[in-house]
Amino acid sequence: MDVVLIDSGGANIGSVRYALERLGASAVLSADADTISRADRVILPGVGAAAPAMARLRELGLVDLIRALEQPLLGICLGMQLLFESSEEGDVECLGLLPGRVRRMPASQGIRVPHMGWNRLSRRSDSALLDGIDEGAHAYFVHSYAAPLTADTLASSAHGSEFAAVVGRGRCLGAQFHPERSAAVGARVLENFLRGAAA
C-alpha cells in the first residue's frame, strides 16, 4: 500500500511517520502532485497555524489536487482543521471539503488555551474509523482552535465547551488529536484508516 504524507511543513510529520511504521506501513513524505495523486492513502498532518499552512499548500499547487482526491484522506490536528471551509486563525479560506468555520477556543477560569493534554472522546456517530475504540477513550490534544460540531462529527471532546475531535464525510476524515501521541487509541485510528475506513 502506498501511503503519502503531504509535506505541509508540520512539525509532527516525523512522529506520524514512525507511528505508521509501527503498524507496518511505509509512508513517503511528498509535495509532488503525481506522487500524492497515485497514493492509496493520503495523510495531511499539521502543527502550526492555518494561514501559513494554506499558503504553503497554495505555493506548492496542491489545493485543487487535495480537493479532487478520490482515495481516503486523513487530516491530523491542523490538517483536520484545514479540511473545513475557513478558519478564524488568520481569517483564511481552507480546503472546503467539510462545511464549517474553525474558531479559537474560548479561555475562561480553569480553562487554559492552548488546550494540551489527554481528553475523553465521546462517540456521536458510527464509523469504521472508530472501530475498536471505546466510548470515553482518551486521546492526546494540543490546539488553540477547534472545529464546530456538525453532522460530520464522528466523535467530540470538551475543553470548556464541546468541539469536533474526529470528523468524516465519505473518504474525507480527520482527527483533531494526535494519533501518533495517543497510544493504543491513536494506533487503532491509524490502523482503521489504513484498512480503508470511511465515514
| Residues in a beta bridge with 87 | 92, 102
Closest to 199 measured CA to CA, from 80, 38, 77, 62:
80
58 part of a folded domain = yes
In the predicted model, what is the mean pLDDT of residues 8-35? 87
Residue 47 within a domain: yes
pLDDT at 8 over 80: no
Confidence at residue 12, expressed as pLDDT on a 0 to 100 scale: 65
Domain residues for the domain of 52 are 3-194
Instruction: Name the least confident of 27-41, 69-83, 103-117, 132-146.
Output: 103-117
What is the DSSP-derived secondary structure letter of residue 111?
B
The pLDDT of residue 192: 96
Cβ pair 179, 187 in contact under 8 A: yes
Q: Convert the pLDDT of each residue in 28-66 to its tens digit.
A: 999 999 999 999 999 999 878 999 999 999 999 999 999
Look at residue 52 and tell me if it is in a domain.
yes
On whether residue 199 sits in a domain, the answer given is no
- Domain assignment present for residue 101? The answer is yes
Compute CA distances 133 → 49, 121, 170, whole Å: 29, 9, 20
175 is a domain residue? yes
pLDDT digits (tens, 9 = 90+) for 165-187: 999 999 999 999 999 999 999 99
In a domain, 23, yes or no: yes
User: What single DSSP character describes residue 169?
Assistant: E
CATH number at residue 109: 3.40.50.880
Assigned domain for 20 exists: yes
Does 194 score more than 60 pLDDT?
yes
By percentage, how much of the chain surpasses pLDDT 90? 83
Give catalytic residue positions: 77, 178, 180
pTM, two decimal places: 0.94
What pLDDT does 199 receive?
Answer: 54
How many domains would you assign to the chain?
Answer: 1
pLDDT of residue 197: 66
